[in-house]
């Protein structure tokens, strides 16, 4: 019987353990917070949350533009100077065969990534005041900057989409409630009007530069934010472009003038040709002093990538180990585009036959390599590990200068326009445009844009603006009239929202 007693003691003890695992205790045990996603209750509590959210909006914008090299394929490929070496999908874009069923085109006709930017920006605008209430370190001025940047990025995304798809649904809130109601397309004029009003509001709040000594921004100093965040001048630059896109050149002139009058406040300078084309020039993180709006892929911070750069399309041997580039500018186009032998970007000396080839490598070969932008890692010459750290520059000082020249020319102010055009021409060593030049000034400006901005994602939009002004190319006139300048909307996107209709040209 002795054993029985101890047996019962053991049993009682264990039963006690068993029952002590009550449901209440268990429920607590079962609350395991995820270690890789943050719950609703953890966000919008402190200053780090707003910083992460703000950085998130920038990162999402970068992703939208870098995905499948979208920025360059939208901007450079349709009837562009670049042609595809042998990629069928790029050929299709070149020929505006945009219903072709290549995965690349399917992805480029999907606007979801731009709406992710818009949603994230709206959410930041709505929720930043919560943090202001909760975290004393988060100041009014900090919030003002954050919201203004979010507004700018959201307006930028809308502008970018309108250029590609025309009418797009206009969502001005995040609607962060899990509802997801279908919304129809909004007239592009209304979308751009919203973008414009947002940018005007934001421009008032944005600074010329962040964390100017002795201030800091999110605890970081000036150098960390330099040419990374959107400034007052970024907002004005985008405003100038929104106006130009709609042909409102009076407004373009006003906005661009503001940029050109104030650029020293953001410590910007015009770039020399060597800074433009050096691997450690304005496209690298070493020298970025002419950028107005750009996105960074800093190698030292582990953000250099193999895709999302013009280099991933254009570079090849001998700069990187790939044999042939995906796209290149044919030799006869090059000689046509750069007629001036003194052009420091590219020129052929008619007497000696020598070439100035800052923009191109291997010009003597059959396929010249477009090497204006070639930031391998942080700008090294060793192409064995080809990831690229180049900035995606949306606009820079030279671009806005030429845009204002365009606006002035369109408004008939030829002399002022000429002065601006000649700033760029002088910098690039080519003969100045003068009163006696027989060439139409609009033509001269757009040819200059073509040379200066080659490979920066402008060519397609420039052609549209050019042809809207000059209306001399019947093919383009028809394309503009039929809305063929827009891209089709992906069937995926259409399927998910029954209120959307395809662009008529692509039906």
Q: Identify residues 54-83 at the interface with other proteins (CB under 8 A).
A: 55-60, 62-64, 66-68
Indicate which single residue of 306, 437, 439, 483 sits in contact with other proteins (rule: CB under 8 A): 306
Nearer to other proteins, 68 or 246 (CB): 68
Residue 5 binding other proteins, by CB under 8 A: no
Beta-carbon neighbour count of residue 27 at 10 Å?
Answer: 9
* Alpha-carbon distances of 389 from 224, 283, 285, 294, 413, rounded to whole Å: 16, 8, 8, 13, 40
DSSP state of 210: S
DSSP secondary structure string, 467-478? HHHH---HHHHH
The region of 328-336, 343-351, 430-438, 492-500 touching other proteins under the rule CB under 8 A is 492-500
Residue 313 binding other proteins, by CB under 8 A: no
In the complex, minimum distance from the CB of residue 374 to other proteins, in angstroms, rounded to a whole number? 17
Indicate which single residue of 175, 194, 208, 270 sits in contact with other proteins (rule: CB under 8 A): 175
**Stretch 12-41 residues interacting with other proteins (CB under 8 A):** 14-15, 17-18, 21, 26-27, 29-40
Indicate which single residue of 79, 113, 248, 337 sits in contact with other proteins (rule: CB under 8 A): 113
- What string marks each residue from 377 to 416 as x (binds other proteins by CB under 8 A) or -? -------xxxx-----------------------------
Nearer to other proteins, 120 or 420 (CB): 120
In the complex, minimum distance from the CB of residue 208 to other proteins, in angstroms, rounded to a whole number? 19
The region of 319-327, 344-352, 427-435, 468-476 touching other proteins under the rule CB under 8 A is 319-327
CA 372 to chain centre: 18
Indicate which single residue of 1, 5, 133, 178 sits in contact with other proteins (rule: CB under 8 A): 178
CB 320 within 8 A of CB 434: no
Q: Is 296 helix (H, G, I), strand (E, B) or coil?
A: coil
**Stretch 213-252 residues interacting with other proteins (CB under 8 A):** 224-225, 228
CB 109 within 8 A of CB 490: yes
Residue 11 binding other proteins, by CB under 8 A: yes
Nearer to other proteins, 29 or 136 (CB): 29
CB 298 within 8 A of CB 390: no
Beta-carbon neighbour count of residue 112 at 10 Å?
Answer: 13
Instruction: Count Cβ atoms within 10 A of the Cβ of residue 402 and give its class: 0-12 exposed, 13-18 middle, 19 or more buried.
Output: buried
The region of 179-187, 191-199, 250-258, 347-355 touching other proteins under the rule CB under 8 A is 179-187
Residue 176 binding other proteins, by CB under 8 A: yes
In the complex, minimum distance from the CB of residue 167 to other proteins, in angstroms, rounded to a whole number? 12
In the complex, minimum distance from the CB of residue 367 to other proteins, in angstroms, rounded to a whole number? 11
Closest CA to 503 of 235, 258, 161, 247: 161
Q: Please, which residues have CB within 8 angstroms of residue 144's CB and are 6 or more apart in sequence?
A: 205
In the complex, minimum distance from the CB of residue 234 to other proteins, in angstroms, rounded to a whole number? 15
In the complex, minimum distance from the CB of residue 224 to other proteins, in angstroms, rounded to a whole number? 7
Q: Please, which residues have CB within 8 angstroms of residue 145's CB and are 6 or more apart in sequence?
A: 205, 206, 207, 210, 217
Nearer to other proteins, 100 or 464 (CB): 100
User: Dihedral (C-alpha) 426, 255, 222, 123: value to the nearest 10 degrees?
Assistant: -140
Residue 165 binding other proteins, by CB under 8 A: no
CB 441 within 8 A of CB 421: yes
CB 433 within 8 A of CB 418: yes
Nearer to other proteins, 114 or 370 (CB): 114
The region of 97-105, 200-208, 414-422, 458-466 touching other proteins under the rule CB under 8 A is 97-105
Q: Where are the alpha helices (DSSP H) in 263-318?
A: 273-277, 310-314
Residue 110 binding other proteins, by CB under 8 A: yes
CA distance 253 to 263: 15
In the complex, minimum distance from the CB of residue 27 to other proteins, in angstroms, rounded to a whole number? 7
- What string marks each residue from 321 to 340 as x (binds other proteins by CB under 8 A) or -? xxxx-x--------------
């Amino acid at each position: 019987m002795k054993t029985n007693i101890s047996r019962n003691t053991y049993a009682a003890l264990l039963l006690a353990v068993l029952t002590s695992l009550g449901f209440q205790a268990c429920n607590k045990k079962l609350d395991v917070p995820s270690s890789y996603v943050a719950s609703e209750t953890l966000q919008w509590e402190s200053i780090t949350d707003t910083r992460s959210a703000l950085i998130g909006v920038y990162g999402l914008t970068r992703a939208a533009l870098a995905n499948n090299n979208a920025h360059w394929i939208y901007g450079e490929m349709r009837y562009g100077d670049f042609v595809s070496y042998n990629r069928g999908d790029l050929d299709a874009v070149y020929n505006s065969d945009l219903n072709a069923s290549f995965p690349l085109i399917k992805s480029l006709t999907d606007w979801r990534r731009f709406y992710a930017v818009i949603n994230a920006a709206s959410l930041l605008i709505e929720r930043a005041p919560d943090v202001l209430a909760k975290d004393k370190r988060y100041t009014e001025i900090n919030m003002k900057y954050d919201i203004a940047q979010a507004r700018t990025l959201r307006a930028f995304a809308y502008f970018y989409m309108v250029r590609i798809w025309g009418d797009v649904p206009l969502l001005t809130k995040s609607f962060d409630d899990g509802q997801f109601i279908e919304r129809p397309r909004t007239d592009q004029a209304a979308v751009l009007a919203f973008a414009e009003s947002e940018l005007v509001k934001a421009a008032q709040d944005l600074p010329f530069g962040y964390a100017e000594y002795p201030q800091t921004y999110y605890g970081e100093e000036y150098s960390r934010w330099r040419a990374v965040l959107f400034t007052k001048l970024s907002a004005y630059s985008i405003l100038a472009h929104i106006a130009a896109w709609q042909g409102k050149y009076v407004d373009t002139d006003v906005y661009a003038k503001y940029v050109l009058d104030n650029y020293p406040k953001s410590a910007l300078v015009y770039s020399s040709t060597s800074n433009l084309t050096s691997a450690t020039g304005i496209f690298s993180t070493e020298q970025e002093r002419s950028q107005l709006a750009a996105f960074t892929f800093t190698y030292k911070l582990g953000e250099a990538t193999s895709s999302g750069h013009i280099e991933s399309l254009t570079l090849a041997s001998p700069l990187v180990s790939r044999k042939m580039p995906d796209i290149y500018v044919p030799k006869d186009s090059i000689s046509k585009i750069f007629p001036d032998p003194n052009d420091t970007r590219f020129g052929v000396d008619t007497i000696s036959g020598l070439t100035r080839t800052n923009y191109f490598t291997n010009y003597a070969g059959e396929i010249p390599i477009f090497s204006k932008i070639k930031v391998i890692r942080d700008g090294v010459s060793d192409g064995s590990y080809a990831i690229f750290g180049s900035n995606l520059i949306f606009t820079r000082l030279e671009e806005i200068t030429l845009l204002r020249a365009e606006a002035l020319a369109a408004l008939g102010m030829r002399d002022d326009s000429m002065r601006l055009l000649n700033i760029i021409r002088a910098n690039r060593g080519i003969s100045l445009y003068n009163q006696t030049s027989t060439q139409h000034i609009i033509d001269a400006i757009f040819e200059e844009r073509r040379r200066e901005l080659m490979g920066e994602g402008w060519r397609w939009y420039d052609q549209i603006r050019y042809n809207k002004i000059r209306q001399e190319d019947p093919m383009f006139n028809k394309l503009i009239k039929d809305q063929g300048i827009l891209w089709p909307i992906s069937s995926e996107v259409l399927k998910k929202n029954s209120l959307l209709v395809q662009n008529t040209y692509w039906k």
